[in-house]
A = this chain, B = another copy of it.
C-alpha cells in the first residue's frame, strides 16, 4: 500500500496547494471554494485551515516565533500524511516567513507542493477585517500581528499569485484549477455558478465558514 495505490483509487494525483497571505486575504474562502468544485468533479480533497487546527492539533501553540514555526511545521507534516493518503490538500495558513514555507516545501516531492500567494493588499484586508483582528492589532491589543506588528515575507516565486481585490473568487478558483490541470491533477471544468463571483463577498464567506462556536484567542491560523 502506498501513495500511488491510494491516489489511483481516487483517480487523481495528490497535491498540496499551499495558500499563504495576510489575515483576511481570502485564503480559507478560496480553499473551501476549490474543495467544493473538486468534490463536484468527483475528486477527493480536504482543506487544512490554520484556524481550525489552532483549536485541535495546534491548540498547545502560541504566537511566538518558535511556536509559529512549529505550527507551520505540523500543518506541513499533516498535509504530507494526507497527500500520502492520496488526497488533494488545500492549506489555508498565513505562514508569513519564507524559511518556514521553504522547510515545508522540502517535505514534498518535486512538483507536489504548489505555493499560491493570496496577495490581497494589507489595506484591503484591514478594511474587510472579518474578525476584527486588525482593529485589535491597531489598538495594541495583539502583539506580533502579521502586517501590523510582524512582517509578512511574500513568496519570491509562487506558482500563482492571486489578489482578491482585483480578481473575483470565480477567477481565482479557475486559476487554481488551471494550475492543477497543468500538473495533471484535474480535468478542466467551469466553477459552479453558485460560487460567489464578487470579491466583496469574501468577508461574508469567511464568516459563514467559521466552524466553531467558541472562537477564543486570535482565531487566525499562523
Contact of A44 among B10, B70, B77 (CB under 8 A): B10
Residue of chain B at shortest CB distance from A56? B77
Give the distance to chain B from A12, nearest Cβ to Cβ, in Å. 12
Residues in chain B near residue A42, CB distance under 8 A: 9
Asked if A1 contacts B57 (CB within 8 A), the reply is: no
Q: Give the copy number.
A: 2
Question: Which of A31-39, A138-146, A161-169, A183-191 faces chain B?
Answer: A31-39
State the CA gap A80–B46 with chains docked (Å).
13
- Interface mask (A135-166 → B, CB under 8 Å = 1, otherwise 0): 00000000000000000000000000000000
Q: Does A116 touch B at the CB level, under 8 Å?
A: no
Contact A82 B82 (CB under 8 A): yes
Beta-carbon contact of A39 and B81 below 8 Å: no
Q: Do A74 and B47 touch (CB < 8 A)?
A: no
Interface residues of A, count at CB 8 A: 30
Whose C-beta in chain B lies nearest to the C-beta of A36?
B1
CB nearest neighbor in B for A32: B1
Asked if B80 and A5 sit within 8 Å, CB to CB, the answer is: no
| A1 and B78 contact, Cβ closer than 8 Å, known pairs A6-B39, A39-B6 | no
User: CA separation between A81 and B77, bound complex, in Å?
Assistant: 13
Q: Which of B47, B57, B85 contacts A46 (CB 8 A)?
A: B85
Q: Determine whether A48 belongs to the interface, using a CB cutoff of 8 Å to chain B.
A: yes
* Residues of chain A at the chain B interface (Cβ within 8 Å): 1, 5-6, 9-10, 32, 35-36, 39, 42, 44, 46-48, 53, 56-57, 60, 70, 74, 77-78, 80-82, 84-87, 107
